[in-house]
Amino acid sequence: QAKEDGRNTHRFFETDMGTAVNERRELITDLRHAIANDELEIYFQPQYSLESHTVSGFEALVRWDHPKRGMVPPMEFIPLAEDTGLIVPLGEWVLNEACRLAAGWPDHLRVAVNLSPRQLRGHGFGPVLIGALAKSGLRADRLELEVTESVLLIESEEILDALHQAKTLGVKVSMDDFGTGYSSLSYLRRFPFDKIKIDQSFVRSMAYSDESVSIVKAVIDLAKNLKMTTTAEGVETELLLEMLKDIGCTDAQGYFLGHPMPVSQMQDLIYACGDKAPLAVTAAQ
């Protein structure tokens, strides 16, 4: 009986695996098609300065509205794109499109673009970056590159070279999701980031944990000493916003301040940014 069960389990497992593999293959084919046919879209999420209470820029977040599946979350297709190398054309498209759109905003607004380590390997990234700036006419210091800490980053001289080249051009470089990797501190020693983005998990837990408040404060102080600014990610409540202000965080981003939105919905906010008057920081939607 046990043997029988074991075999059935095994068969089930194989079937599930088979389905998963087919599904993955199908999604890869569709993603390749989506990249080639301009079916991806960028949503922009506002980033606020806690010093001036104004929008300082927007983070570009890629969206894929699959014709049959609907919105596929980046957490599902970015890893797939990384595994297959499709992240290179995808990332190039996002960078070009984000720069092109940002060039039309008031010129104190920055645009932040996420990069995967794989885009920075080899020697292809420099020309892609120079091309994106040249084609769009975007001033280099209005572009920020967000790189997530990852084992790849620190081990690769190629990646460090690519980031140094970006800095030489005047582009800003941020460390995304700070605190979630194993070696955040070693990264800070190896590369002069302009900004640290404190991961949402730390920010969120500040609401109920004094330890988290202490950790976030320590990160902010550390960043200050290293002449870096800090953006808190995932700010969902007014309370968190006030706490972050109190402990000296310089910038914030999150649903309380504004959700990622399609370009078609940005007009009012961009217009309001144009006269540089401080915007009331109020709950979005």
Binding site for ligand C2E (CB under 6 A): 45, 61-62, 73-75, 78, 91, 94, 114-116, 146, 148, 176-177, 200, 233-236, 253-255, 260
The binder of 74, among Mg ion, ligand C2E, none, by C-beta within 5 to 8 A per type, is ligand C2E
Q: Which residue is nearest to ligand C2E (CB)?
A: 254
- Candidates 30, 92, 97, 146: give the one binding Mg ion (CB under 5 A): 146
Draw the binding track, 107-136, toward Mg ion (x: CB under 5 A; -: no contact): -------x----------------------
Extract the runs of DSSP E, i.e. beta strands, from the chain.
40-49, 55-66, 70-72, 110-115, 143-148, 172-178, 195-198, 229-232, 251-252, 261-262
The binder of 47, among Mg ion, ligand C2E, none, by C-beta within 5 to 8 A per type, is none
144 contributes a contact to Mg ion by CB under 5 A: no
| Whole-angstrom distance, CA of residue 285 vs CA of residue 152 | 38
92 contributes a contact to Mg ion by CB under 5 A: no
Q: Which is nearer to ligand C2E, 105 or 178 (CB)?
A: 178
CB neighbour burial string for 240-279, b if at least 16 within 10 angstroms, e if fewer: bbebbbebebbbbbbebbbebbeeeebeebbeebeeeeeb
| Whole-angstrom distance, CA of residue 52 vs CA of residue 117 | 33
Least distance CB 73 / ligand C2E (angstroms) = 5
Tell how far CA 11 is from the center of its chain. 40
Task: Work out whether strand 40-49 and strand 70-72 pair parallel, antiparallel, or are unpaired.
Answer: unpaired
Which helix or strand (DSSP H or E) is residue 277 part of?
A: none
231 contributes a contact to Mg ion by CB under 5 A: no
Q: Which is nearer to Mg ion, 79 or 137 (CB)?
A: 79
Q: How many residues bind Mg ion (CB under 5 A)?
A: 5
> Which residues contact Mg ion (rule: CB under 5 A)?
114, 146, 176-177, 233
